[in-house]
């Protein structure tokens, strides 16, 4: 069922509780990557421009059950002030009489940032009473935190029992539209590129995609379990012995469904991730004492050829240890292939996004998701509490 969106609300004179994902990385107390902050700016600007006021809420990191200065949203407020071009006061807490008075004093076009929601353990417990207290700070609810939508937390799920309507923000709307386009009515052929370390992390995703895509390209550390399932020796490459039989079942299921499963034909090997260089060898030639740390050049060509006819591409997970220069070229090469494809492409996951940016092709990707876990769970076909809690759109 489509969800009510921010665009459908009359916001004039309305105080909006806006749940965002401002969980940005910090370096010595300064935001080092403001991607997630910039992503919520259009929603904030829309609400303020429509005559509403904003009670902005987020978590940051994983504080252990109480306030911790290390996880204060102060650096977030300072960076958001720059992005918004206006002052952004930070409340000393997210609940309590002082915070409630600050929220109630907001006039049209004004904004208040609440302190870290996770300073209260009731947030992650999806506590009903805590959610009710948060709900009392505003007159309607907007969720723009797709990256946290897979969490059944008080500010994401329980709050909507007490604060209606509950609408999708502009970022949430864009995420749902892009990912829904992949799962519900994709232009075919559809290709999925999966990387990352472990098969076990993406088992549900692989199984769900097998019946939805025309080609499944598998790289990264997870590829070696599939290669071992085919009888290849993989040296000291990352391997999950307890998943080999599952990999065989996936390969057989792909054959039954007519899904093309594309695996590496060569790899860049070395003694370890800190080796100053690597060399490309065929999959049958991986030395017993070395490990595969990237897909090789022939695999890049093979993946690019498999992607060329695609009209929809989804990609999650790097195809090698791309943070290390000797083992980056495979991931970067595939990023260029995705970017030059005529397909509508969607990528998600922090490492994948970082790789696309490193390749310099960010502007040629159809949609870049801000989410990691939620992105995967959505593609796995799971219900997301943060999406389910939103008000259904009028028929």
- Residue of 51, 61, 109, 373 marked active site: 373
- Asked whether residue 133 falls in the same domain as residue 258, the answer is no
- Asked whether residue 160 falls in the same domain as residue 195, the answer is no
Residue 184 has pLDDT above 90, yes or no: no
- Residue of 15, 19, 36, 212 marked active site: 36
- Residue of 51, 61, 109, 350 marked active site: 350
Domain end among 108, 141, 173: 173
- Asked whether residue 89 falls in the same domain as residue 18, the answer is yes
Which residue range forms the structural domain that includes residue 283?
186-379
Any catalytic annotation for residue 202?
no
Predicted confidence at residue 160, as pLDDT, reads 98
- Asked whether residue 199 falls in the same domain as residue 264, the answer is yes
Predicted confidence at residue 1, as pLDDT, reads 64
Residue 85 domain-assigned (yes or no): yes
Any catalytic annotation for residue 350?
yes
- CA–CA separation, 312 and 334 (whole Å): 15
- Asked whether residue 20 falls in the same domain as residue 150, the answer is yes
Residue 394 domain-assigned (yes or no): no
Residue 121 has pLDDT above 70, yes or no: yes
Predicted confidence at residue 226, as pLDDT, reads 96
Write down the pTM of the prediction. Answer: 0.87
Terminal CA-to-CA distance of the chain, rounded, Å?
9
167 - beta bridge partners?
142
Residue range 22-30: mean pLDDT, rounded: 93
Q: Do 170 and 146 touch, CB atoms closer than 8 A?
A: no
> What percent of the chain has pLDDT above 90?
86
Residue 384 domain-assigned (yes or no): no
pLDDT digits 0-9 by tens, 56-78: 999 999 998 899 999 999 999 99
- CA–CA separation, 156 and 372 (whole Å): 17
Q: 46: domain CATH number?
A: 3.40.50.1260
pLDDT digits 0-9 by tens, 215-230: 999 999 999 999 999 9
Q: Do 210 and 257 touch, CB atoms closer than 8 A?
A: yes
- Residue of 74, 181, 198, 364 marked active site: 198
70 C-beta neighbours (distance < 10 Å), count: 10
Domain end among 118, 140, 173: 173
Domain end among 117, 140, 173: 173
- Asked whether residue 169 falls in the same domain as residue 240, the answer is no
Number of domains, the chain: 2
Residue 104 domain-assigned (yes or no): yes
- Mean pLDDT of all residues in the chain? 94
- Asked whether residue 160 falls in the same domain as residue 193, the answer is no
- Asked whether residue 226 falls in the same domain as residue 350, the answer is yes
- Asked whether residue 166 falls in the same domain as residue 227, the answer is no
């Amino acid at each position: 069922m489509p969800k009510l969106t921010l665009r459908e609300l009359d916001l004039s004179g309305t105080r909006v509780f806006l749940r965002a994902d401002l969980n940005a990385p910090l370096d010595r107390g300064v935001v080092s990557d403001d991607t997630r902050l910039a992503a919520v700016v259009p929603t904030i600007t829309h609400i303020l421009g429509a005559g509403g006021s904003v009670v902005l809420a987020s978590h940051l990191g994983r504080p252990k059950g109480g306030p911790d200065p290390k996880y204060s949203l102060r650096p977030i407020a300072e960076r958001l002030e720059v992005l918004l071009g206006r002052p952004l006061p930070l409340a000393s807490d997210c609940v309590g009489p002082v915070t409630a008075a600050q929220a109630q004093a907001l006039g049209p076009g004004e904004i208040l940032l609440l302190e870290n929601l996770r300073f209260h353990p009731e947030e992650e417990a999806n506590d009903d009473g805590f959610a009710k207290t948060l709900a009392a700070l505003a007159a309607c609810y907007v969720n723009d935190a797709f990256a946290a939508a897979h969490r059944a937390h008080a500010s994401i799920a329980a709050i909507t029992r007490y604060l209606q309507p509950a609408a999708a923000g502009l970022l949430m709307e864009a995420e749902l539209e892009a990912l829904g386009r992949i799962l519900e009515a994709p232009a075919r052929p559809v290709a999925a590129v999966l990387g990352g370390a472990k098969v076990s992390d993406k088992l549900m995703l692989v199984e769900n995609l097998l019946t939805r895509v025309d080609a499944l390209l598998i790289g990264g550390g997870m590829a070696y379990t599939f290669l071992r399932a085919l009888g290849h020796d993989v040296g000291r490459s990352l391997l999950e012995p307890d998943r080999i039989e599952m990999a065989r079942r996936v390969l057989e299921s792909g054959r039954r469904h007519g899904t093309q499963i594309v695996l590496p034909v060569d790899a860049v090997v070395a003694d370890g991730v800190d080796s100053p260089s690597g060399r490309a060898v065929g999959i049958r030639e991986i030395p017993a004492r070395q490990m595969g740390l990237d897909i090789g050049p022939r695999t890049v060509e093979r993946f690019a050829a498999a992607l060329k006819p695609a009209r929809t591409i989804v990609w999650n997970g790097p195809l090698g240890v791309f943070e290390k220069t000797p083992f980056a070229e495979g991931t970067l090469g595939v990023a260029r292939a995705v970017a030059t494809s005529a397909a509508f492409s969607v990528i998600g996951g922090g490492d994948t996004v970082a790789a696309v940016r490193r390749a310099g092709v960010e502007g040629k990707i159809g949609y870049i998701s801000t989410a990691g876990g939620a992105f995967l769970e959505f593609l796995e076909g799971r219900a997301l509490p943060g999406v389910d809690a939103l008000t259904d759109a009028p028929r």
